Amino acid sequence: MNYIGLGVMNDYTYTRSVNPMISNGNKSEQTGMVPNNDPSSTSGFTVYNISVDGGQDYAIYDPSNGYVYVVNYNSSILSVISGTKVVANISLGYFTTPLYAVYDPSNGYVYVTNFAIDTVSVISGTSVVANVSVGVAPEFLVYDPSNGYVYVSNLDSNNMSVISGTTVIGNVPVGVGQTYSLYDPSNGYIYAINGSPHSNSVIVISGTKVVASVPVGSDPTCLVNDPSNGYVYVTNLHSNYMSIISGTKVVGNVSVGVGAREAAYDPSNGYVYVDVLYALGNTSVSVISANNVVGNLKVCSGTPPIYDPSNGYVYVGGAPSDTVSVISGNNVVANVPVGLDPVYALYDPSNGYVYVMNYYSNNVSVIMPKSSSTSSPTSGTPPTNTSSTTSSTNSSSSTSTSSSGIPSSTSSKSNGSPFNLTFLILIVTVVVIIALAFVFIKKR
């Protein structure tokens, strides 16, 4: 979806950014629209759309090189982004169906699950250094900093594969239906969802051993850790509550309605934000403090909520509005248009950008807060944004763009302008004609 020109969406006014198109090979990305009259002075978000290979639904950040790795589900390509440019496209083979990725700081590798061929690709920089055979239908991965292991959830196996470097060192029996896992720094446990129809549990793992199996609600989907209280929150898609785990026991439930999917923790206020798909009254994000719901926000949800530590905002977006809502505390402070069907978002601490994966528009939207978009240009980043909050002006010396989007001349009039020259020629012509007429009459 191209947001070009001036328009009004969701009660916000949007103007085209002044920055030029970004070149990426033979593809071009145009700037998106930015809100400039939101209620909390968070205007000035600039959006760049970066073309990628398609079907992107996940991404991770690699702090060792500053790259963002975008997993393209349909093309079996791993796109590598630096700032707002694609610097490499890594082929993972044919029809591998890559799903998720994780960064391992102990060796600098990026691990990508290939769902269709039961392998994990190991990436160093922009090269594949190994392909590791794991269980059947690998999905999610999680890194355990206490031992340096990478745990792979295998959807259709009865185990999790444990990788050290490029070698599988063990398999943990956890049952069929693993879809998500989490490392809890407060106790060193790995929590893995077992979402099979007859289980609905969370498996607690230490090293390569199962410590406990904790029963939760129907169809557990996501896990999030709250370090302020040590709780692990479990979203249950087909229950009307979230389960709260402390250690190896359920210590409470929070009523959020049926359809809780993804969640994120905000350390600036201690809240947990929950994306609720089937919520009533268009309430799509629940705000939780400890074991109480303290707010419900009407946004179009779809992407997992993410936290931006640079400004304390939480970002969540989705279809059909194809926007990302910016949340501060219990308030939506902006709605930023992105591409078609945003499914995932990622914060990059090296530049403060938020990257949004748009599944159906084959691009990644890069949301830049005002403080980032007005900074000096650097490698891999766009030029300085000088857009006004009321109109958009092209800095080219030949044309400018008014708020109506119609190009207008910027040529200024000065002494010796075409107008003055024409007037002088006219006077001379009149004088010459009068003189010739006088001569003609005198001869007669």
**pLDDT single digits (tens) 120-130:** 999 999 999 99
Kindly tell me the burial class for residue 340, based on how many C-beta atoms sit within 10 Å of its own C-beta (0-12, 13-18, 19 or more).
Answer: middle
Tokens 């403090």 identify what position? 289
C-alpha 160/C-alpha 158 separation (Å) is 7
Q: Which helix (H) or strand (E) holds 442?
A: helix 418-443
Q: What are 73's two structure tokens?
A: 């589900």
Q: Check whether 137 has a pLDDT greater than 70.
A: yes
Q: What is the mean pLDDT of residues 380-406?
A: 31
- Torsion 423-425-428-432 (CA) sign: negative
* Helix (H/G/I), strand (E/B), else coil: 41: coil
Lowest average pLDDT, out of 219-228, 262-271, 293-302, 336-345, goes to 293-302
Measured distance CA(89)–CA(69) in Å, rounded: 9
Position 135 confidence tier, pLDDT thresholds 50, 70, 90:
very high
- For the chain, how far is it from start to end, CA to CA, in angstroms? 80
- Digit-coded pLDDT (tens) for 302-312: 788 999 999 99
Question: What number is the average pLDDT over the span 278-295?
Answer: 76
Most confidently predicted of 76-90, 254-268, 322-336: 76-90
Closest CA to 330 of 317, 312, 308: 312
* Whole-number pLDDT of residue 391: 29
Q: CB under 8 Å to 41, separation ≥6 — which residues?
A: none
Look at residue 82 in the predicted model and tell me its pLDDT.
Answer: 97
Helix (H, G, I), strand (E, B) or coil at 430: helix
Q: How far is CA 352 from CA 12, 269, 309, 323, 381, in A?
A: 23, 20, 9, 19, 11
User: Coil, strand or helix: which one is 233?
Assistant: strand
3-state secondary structure string across 205-264: EECCEEEEEEECCCCEEEEEEECCCCEEEEEECCCCEEEEEECCEEEEEEECCCCEEEEE
CA distance 260 to 221: 8
Task: Inform me whether the pLDDT recorded for 24 exceeds 90.
Answer: no
Give the residue with greater pLDDT, 36 vs 101.
Answer: 101
Tell whether the model's pLDDT for residue 163 goes beyond 90: yes
Task: Judge whether residue 299 has pLDDT over 50.
Answer: yes
For position 41, what pLDDT does the model report?
34
Adjacent-strand bridge partners of 245: 232, 250
For residue 297, the model assigns a pLDDT of: 84
Q: In what order do the strands lie in the sheet with 77-82?
A: 56-62, 67-72, 77-82, 85-91
Weakest-pLDDT range from 226-235, 363-372, 373-382, 432-441: 373-382
Contact 312, 326 (CB under 8 A): no
How many CB atoms within 10 Å of residue 249? 10
